[in-house]
Structure 1
């Protein structure tokens, strides 16, 4: 595909870093679902540290990920980092330090996930329609997948792995044109087979398995809609329905994570906050950056919850820079709690 200037990529990422909703097989999704009502309680988030400043070369910074490995190490990506600056970083939250893990002159990485199959760190390159992988220490970069799927190149945003290591990817095609061309794509763990599970979506963004891997939660950025895809035994879509329609004003639905109780943590672009719903769509809580710290912060894209614990780490960005915030989640973290 034609390579876009990174400033343009930054704009695309900022206005639409993914959304997802599926067209199920054998079902027709309603145009609208029940709107999320009630504010729930407010959970204040506390600043851990500033990780990045606005890059002169790209005019912004946009933190994504984040993801915890089996040893509890936290990894974060910066979508708009230029060559030489950390595009993937490892964060020591206790010492409040960060270390560059990977940089290159090409990728615009919008998410990171560890594979349960080979243990490597997988990154989505939104700009170039590729998925790349790294060794856990950031070395040995490989292109895992770069082909067209059903005749069209992807704009991959987020990834959810099933228990066998197959990838479920939110494809945000059509974002730049404002067209509903988004998809959910399944890629086998060897990168040899790919299939479209859902299409005609409005900037597919967040994607995460539910707590028992029966189905996928997906969000559409430009529809502010969260849908549920029930999967069959072969990993295909058995049914799909609109589950939550979020009335966020200027804020849009970004990435999704799920805790051990099945609660959804919905990141927001356009507001430094995160909405928390239960599996039935009840709005349980809103995680917010305190008002006196929110100036210059425009999004809370994603979250990772410590496995077996309730400490959550949220990526927050804006003209003031890219920050890591923490809060207490409503339930313990699991693999699905690394935001997808």
Structure 2
């Protein structure tokens, strides 16, 4: 016996594929497990309040945007980085976990990218990877680089809205 009603069924919609003309046209030193750089490698999907989809293109330091209203893909931002994670703040700014650059901010309208947090004290990060933003505006992010079971020196940080950083 169930005391709750069944949840509504949500039918997923398939988005159009990213057009090949938006694949990166530059070289990358990032190498996949196959030993090559793929023409595109997407991670970190997130959406804004309008339903637009944002994803990062890891090897090529880009953020792609799918505008739901006009059903069109575009390159929102392009820089010399290796973005992995992506989240959106309440003010609409995208927070980017970039393996090479640390935490970055990207304006979701103009695509302007700027540094948010590139170091802990004077030390660079090992390689920032994933992140999430709490309801209090705190940014939790991983900094594992290439660590694993044999090198357990990776860390998880919390960046408070006032700039205080906890490990």
Q: TM-score, normalised by structure 2?
A: 0.72
Aligned to 1:50: 17
1:139 to partner: Cα distance: 3.7
The structure with higher relative contact order (CA 8 Å, sep 6+) is: 1
Q: Secondary structure at the match of 2:66?
A: strand
On the 8 A contact 2:42/2:56 being kept in 1, the answer is yes
Aligned to 1:195: 166
- What does the per-residue CA deviation read over 1:195-251, in whole Å, with 9 as the maximum and x for residues that have no partner? 21xxxxxxxxxxxxxxxxxxxxxxxxxxxxxxxxxxxxxxxxxxxxxxxxxxxxxxx
Q: Please, which of 56, 66, 69 is the counterpart of residue 91 of structure 1?
A: 66
Aligned to 1:127: 100
CA distance in 2, matches of 1:184, 1:124: 12
Q: Please, which of 54, 77, 101 is the counterpart of residue 102 of structure 1?
A: 77
On the 8 A contact 1:110/1:123 being kept in 2, the answer is yes
Q: Alignment length, in residue pairs?
A: 144
CA distance in 2, matches of 1:175, 1:102: 29
Distance 1:102 1:188, change over 3 A: same
Task: Note the residue ranges of structure 1 that are not aligned, 5 or more in a row.
Answer: 1-44, 197-340
- The RMSD of aligned alpha carbons is 2.9
CA distance in 1, matches of 2:59, 2:19: 11
Q: Secondary structure at the match of 1:80?
A: helix
Q: Please, which of 131, 138, 160 is the counterpart of residue 166 of structure 1?
A: 138
Task: Note the residue ranges of structure 2 that are not aligned, 5 or more in a row.
Answer: 1-11, 29-36
1:173 to partner: Cα distance: 3.0
1:170 to partner: Cα distance: 1.4
1:97 to partner: Cα distance: 2.4
